[in-house]
C-alpha cells in the first residue's frame, strides 16, 4: 500500500470534470409502496444524527476555503479573523501568491504566503484584504480524539468546492510517510489521525471535523493500493492533528519561520548504509551536530545505526519514521556498529530544527 497526497493538479480537474456528466438537477422520485411509514411517526435516532451533521456543516463549512495556484488547487482553513489561512505545504508548493475562494462566495480573493514548513507539511497564507465576517475555525484538543468518533471531511475534492464526506476515526497515532513529487515535500509525519471519511485530490488542507464542530485535523493524504495499479484504497485517509497545526501555524504567523517543530531529532545527518551484498542494513552517520543529542551520547561520523529503541533500522527512511513517532526530550537506546563491533548509546532526543 502506498500513499497519495490529496492536492489536485489543474489538469486532473479538467479530466475529472469531463469524465462525468453535468450535475443532475432532477429530483429523486419516490414511489408509493405498502411498506411506507404512516404519517406522524416519531423522529428516529437517525433524524437526530442527520440534524447533528447539518449543524456541524453549517458551523464549520464557512471556515473552509479553496486555494488556487498556477499549478493546481487545494483547500484551507480560516485560522483567524485577520485573514490567516492554514493549509498543507504541498498545496502551496513553491508559489507565493494565491487565489482564495470563500465557502459563501464565487469571488476570488488574493493572498500571499506567510510561511511554509514542509517537514510537517503545513503552511499559512494570508488574504491581502481580509473581508469582514471571516469565520475562524475552532480547533479541538487532538489528544482527546478517540477511535470510533464520527468525522466529517470538508474541502474541494476535484475542484468541487464546499464538499463534505463522512466517516469515523479509524486510528490515532499513525506515522505516515508522504510520497515526494507533484508538490509534495515527501515528509514523514507522526501522530496522524486515520479516518474512513473519503479524502480525494483537492481535499488537502481542508478540515477534518468532529460532531462538536471542532477541527481535529487537516486532510492531507489518502492510501493507494499498489495491487490495483495505484487506485485509491477506499476508506483510508490521514489528517495532521490539530495540536501540530496550531503549534506550527502560530509560529509561522508570528515570525514566518518555525523554531520549535515538536519533532524529535538525533542531531545528525545520515544516509542509507549498504552492506557487502549491497543490501540496505542501517543508517550511517555522515556528520554529527556539535553539542547535539548524538554527540553528547558519543556517536560519531561513520557509525551505522541499526536499531532505535526496539525498532530495527535498515534505511534512512526507517530512521526518519522511527524518530517521527517519538517526542523531543524522550530517551532512547541507539544500537550501532563501529569498526565491526556492536555498541549502544542512550540518547536524550532533541528538537528537529526548521528547514524553511
pLDDT category of residue 57 using cuts at 50, 70 and 90 = very high
Interacting residues of 320 by C-beta distance below 8 A, sequence separation 6+? 177, 188
pLDDT for residue 355 = 45
Domains in the chain, CATH or no CATH each: 54-257 (2.40.10.120), 264-351 (2.30.42.10)
pTM, 2 dp: 0.77
pLDDT for residue 302 = 97
Do residues 179 and 4 make contact, with C-beta atoms less than 8 angstroms apart?
Answer: yes
pLDDT for residue 1 = 55
Mean residue pLDDT of the chain comes to 85
Interacting residues of 25 by C-beta distance below 8 A, sequence separation 6+? none
pLDDT for residue 26 = 34
Copy the grid coordinates of residue 337: 556498529
Interacting residues of 319 by C-beta distance below 8 A, sequence separation 6+? 270, 283, 305, 308, 313
pLDDT category of residue 2 using cuts at 50, 70 and 90 = low
From CA 149, how far away is CA 163, in angstroms rounded? Answer: 20
pLDDT (tens digit per residue) in 282-297:
999 999 999 999 999 9
Copy the grid coordinates of residue 38: 404512516
Q: Give the E-state strand segments of 102-244 in sequence order.
A: 108-117, 122-127, 150-155, 163-177, 180-181, 184-185, 188-195, 207-209, 215-225, 231-241
Copy the grid coordinates of residue 339: 569498526
The catalytic residue positions are: 90, 121, 204
pLDDT for residue 344 = 97
pLDDT higher than 50, residue 11: no
Copy the grid coordinates of residue 13: 480537474
pLDDT for residue 230 = 62
Across the range 62-66, mean pLDDT stands at 96
pLDDT for residue 86 = 98
277 against 229, higher pLDDT: 277
pLDDT higher than 80, residue 21: no
Amino acid at each position: 500500500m502506498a500513499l497519495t497526497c490529496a492536492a489536485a493538479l489543474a489538469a486532473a480537474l479538467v479530466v475529472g470534470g469531463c469524465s462525468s456528466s453535468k450535475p443532475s438537477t432532477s429530483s429523486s422520485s419516490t414511489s408509493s409502496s405498502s411498506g411506507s411509514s404512516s404519517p406522524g411517526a416519531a423522529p428516529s435516532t437517525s433524524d437526530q444524527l442527520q440534524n447533528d451533521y447539518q449543524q456541524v456543516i453549517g458551523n464549520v463549512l464557512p471556515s473552509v476555503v479553496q486555494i488556487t495556484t498556477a499549478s493546481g488547487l487545494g483547500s484551507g482553513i480560516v485560522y483567524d479573523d485577520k485573514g490567516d489561512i492554514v493549509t498543507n505545504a504541498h498545496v502551496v508548493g513553491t508559489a507565493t501568491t494565491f487565489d482564495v475562494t470563500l465557502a459563501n462566495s464565487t469571488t476570488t480573493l488574493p493572498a500571499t504566503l506567510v510561511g511554509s514548513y514542509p517537514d510537517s507539511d503545513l503552511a499559512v497564507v494570508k488574504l491581502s484584504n481580509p473581508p469582514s465576517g471571516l469565520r475562524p475555525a475552532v480547533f479541538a484538543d487532538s489528544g482527546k480524539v478517540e477511535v470510533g468518533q464520527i468525522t466529517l471531511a470538508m474541502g474541494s475534492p476535484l475542484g468541487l468546492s464546499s464538499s463534505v464526506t463522512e466517516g469515523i476515526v479509524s486510528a490515532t497515532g499513525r506515522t505516515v510517510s508522504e510520497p515526494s513529487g507533484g508538490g509534495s515535500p515527501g515528509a514523514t509525519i507522526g501522530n496522524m489521525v486515520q479516518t474512513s471519511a473519503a479524502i480525494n485530490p483537492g481535499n488537502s488542507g481542508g478540515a477534518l471535523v468532529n460532531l462538536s464542530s471542532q477541527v481535529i485535523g487537516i486532510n492531507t493524504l489518502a492510501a493507494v493500493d499498489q495491487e490495483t495499479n495505484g487506485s485509491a484504497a477506499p476508506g483510508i485517509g490521514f489528517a495532521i492533528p490539530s495540536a501540530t497545526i496550531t503549534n506550527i501555524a502560530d509560529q509561522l504567523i508570528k515570525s514566518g519561520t518555525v523554531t520549535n517543530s515538536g519533532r524529535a531529532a538525533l542531531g545528525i545527518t545520515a544516509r542509507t548504509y549498504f552492506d557487502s551484498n549491497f543490501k540496505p542494513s542501517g543508517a550511517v552517520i555522515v556528520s554529527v551536530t556539535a553539542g547535539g543529542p548524538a554527540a553528547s551520547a558519543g556517536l560519531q561520523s561513520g557509525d551505522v545505526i541499526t536499531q532505535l529503541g526496539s525498532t530495527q533500522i535498515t534505511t534512512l527512511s526507517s530512521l526518519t519514521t522511527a524518530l517521527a513517532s517519538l517526542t523531543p526530550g524522550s530517551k532512547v537506546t541507539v544500537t550501532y556498529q563501529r569498526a565491526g563491533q556492536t555498541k549502544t548509546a542512550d540518547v536524550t532526543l532533541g528538537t528537529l530544527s526548521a528547514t524553511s
